[in-house]
Amino acid sequence: MRFPHDRVRRLPAALVGVTALLVLAGCTADAVPAPVASPSALPTAEATETTSPALQPDATINVGSLLPTTSLSPTADDPGATQVFAGNVLEALVDVSKDGDVVPRLASAYDVSDDGLLYTFTVREGVVFHGGDPLTADDVVAALLRQAGEDASEERRERFAIIDDVTAVDDHTVAVRLSERRMSFLTQLTDVWITRAGPDDGTLDGTGPYSFDGWIPGATTSITRFDDYWGQTASNGSAVFHRFDEASVMDNALLTGIVDIAIGEHQAADFVRSATTAETTLSFVDTGSVSVLAFRHDHGLFADPAVREAALMAIDPADLLSQVWGESAEEVAALTEDASPWRNELSSSLGADAEAAQDVIRATGTDTKTAVTIGALLPGPTERTAGAVAQSLAGIGISAEVRVIEPDSVDQLGDVDAVVAVRSSAEDLLRNRDAVVALGIASDDALERLTQSELVSSDAERTEMLRLAARAIVEDHAGALLFPVPTVIVTRAGIDGVTPSAPLDGFPLSTIEKIE
């Protein structure tokens, strides 16, 4: 898995009239740190002229996010909880570096047998949970067994069904035996969080640089610096994640200083205005996610591979980026420069040639008067992308409507003819193999290549197998990669040390400094 490749640009300072202020209701002193200063309490220009900015080591970092936290369970795969807790409150045995390499975290070392079936982890010594108990091998065993528990997501249970046995060899050694080789097993361990207590007793006892402080569903999640952390302690005192229902409201919160940082999943134009009340830094971070168009083969116009080919030929990648990303299209396009081979293969079938596409349609004798339905997995940016695809199809005489569908509802697609979705990585493609089959985006050859990519013995072999799987999808005109889907992060002046390149959709906070 490849992470990240970020682009940063400066936005000019300008004065903007603010027509609405955000009111965060329901916050209590027990649940969150000290309240955030109102816009009227922010330093004035006169004050900044006479007071030199100083580092605030105990500052509270306020983060705005569009992702809700709906569960505190470390096995529920809740995206909002992952964004807050991953790498901040909760840690795993291993992590993924900026270069995409698996590196030790709570495991100080690990070893893999020659047959790829036995993994031996040395549990790091000197690590304590936030509740004060030392980390032992038994905690790791319990965490791994929890992946098959009733609180775990179905996807997680299926992913870790490959574990045949897990044993605490001694206090600091864990042995994990698999039923078959899996090249991506270490990568998949990067979101197996090692915890003690669970949400059933109102706590979340991890080992990270912050401890869990409080959660107001639908509003805020708070964490506080853990001074007994085994690694480098946090450069700030605490953080509050503020949940927003609408991008425009989060934008106002950023402009007025209610939040220091705004995180927009997939779409800058949703919440970043070209003029702001303070200088901001805008970052586009490639975490490996991509927008994918997939055709169904079992009914309708796209049952004909020639029609699928024509549809892909009609899509102009540059025009698509412009429609979806607006002024940010250039930055998003730049994220493809160092893309992995399988991503490059899946991008190669877009033709930007509507005239040639119409010739293909005419040669098939296909009646394009029947409208097709494009399903968008999740509203917002994905829905916008599906709309842009529909517009491209209209250019070759195919009428298309867009329908928003819930994720993982493959068995409820009904008459949907094609789907626009976001996939996070090659591993995500592997994990969603059943969905791939149901959507018809992969031939038998592609599925076989995906299976073989887990059974090979080297990264180079696996990369080649994934490339060949992508090539089979392209040759079948089954679908295409439309563009990379970065996370967009905006920071206000006075905030430094943001490292938004962590994997797994977490947002690391410990290096962030506030200067006032």
Question: Using one digit for the tens of pLDDT, what is the confidence trace for 232-286?
Answer: 999 999 999 999 988 778 888 888 889 999 987 555 455 555 334 457 788 887 7
The rounded percent of the chain whose pLDDT value lies above 70 is 78
pLDDT at 104: 95
In angstroms, what CA-CA distances link 288 with 311, 350, 385, 408? 25, 20, 18, 20
Instruction: With beta carbons less than 8 A apart as the criterion, state whether 207 and 86 touch.
Output: no
Lowest mean pLDDT: which of 8-22, 332-346, 454-468? 8-22
Q: ∠ CA 158-161-162 to the nearest 5 degrees? A: 125
pLDDT at 126: 96
pLDDT at 369: 75
Instruction: With beta carbons less than 8 A apart as the criterion, state whether 307 and 361 touch.
Output: yes
pLDDT at 478: 85
**Quick one: pLDDT band at residue 451, thresholds 50, 70, 90?**
confident
pLDDT at 377: 79
Return the structure tokens found at 371: 């409208």
pLDDT at 24: 26
pLDDT over 50 at 38, yes or no = no
Contacts by residues 332-339 (CB-CB < 8 Å, ≥ 24 positions apart): 332/284, 332/483, 332/484, 332/486, 333/483, 334/7, 335/5, 335/7, 335/284, 335/286, 335/484, 335/486, 336/483, 336/484, 337/5, 338/2, 338/5, 339/2, 339/484
pLDDT over 90 at 220, yes or no = yes
Round to whole Å and give the CA distance between 75 and 142. Answer: 12
pLDDT tens for residues 317-328? 999 988 888 878
pLDDT at 324: 86
pLDDT at 197: 60
The residue ranking higher by pLDDT, 150 or 435, is 150
Round to whole Å and give the CA distance between 394 and 397. Answer: 5
pLDDT at 207: 97
Average pLDDT over the chain, rounded to an integer: 80
Q: ∠ CA 482-96-285 to the nearest 5 degrees? A: 40
Q: ∠ CA 81-84-86 to the nearest 5 degrees? A: 85
pLDDT at 426: 59
The residue ranking higher by pLDDT, 42 or 64, is 64
pLDDT over 80 at 448, yes or no = yes
pLDDT at 19: 25
pLDDT over 70 at 424, yes or no = no
pLDDT over 50 at 17, yes or no = no
DSSP 328: G
Return the structure tokens found at 237: 């005192």
pLDDT tens for residues 61-87? 999 998 888 888 888 878 888 889 999
Round to whole Å and give the CA distance between 220 and 264. Answer: 16
In angstroms, what CA-CA distances link 86 with 77, 191, 239, 366? 11, 8, 14, 50
Round to whole Å and give the CA distance between 379 and 404. Answer: 6
Round to whole Å and give the CA distance between 406 and 379. Answer: 9
pLDDT at 271: 52
Question: What is the reported pTM?
Answer: 0.78
pLDDT over 80 at 443, yes or no = no
pLDDT over 60 at 192, yes or no = yes
Round to whole Å and give the CA distance between 503 and 87. Answer: 10
pLDDT at 172: 97
pLDDT at 434: 52
**Quick one: pLDDT band at residue 379, thresholds 50, 70, 90?**
low
In angstroms, what CA-CA distances link 104 with 121, 133, 209? 9, 21, 16
Q: How many residues belong to the chain?
A: 516
Round to whole Å and give the CA distance between 77 and 300. Answer: 35
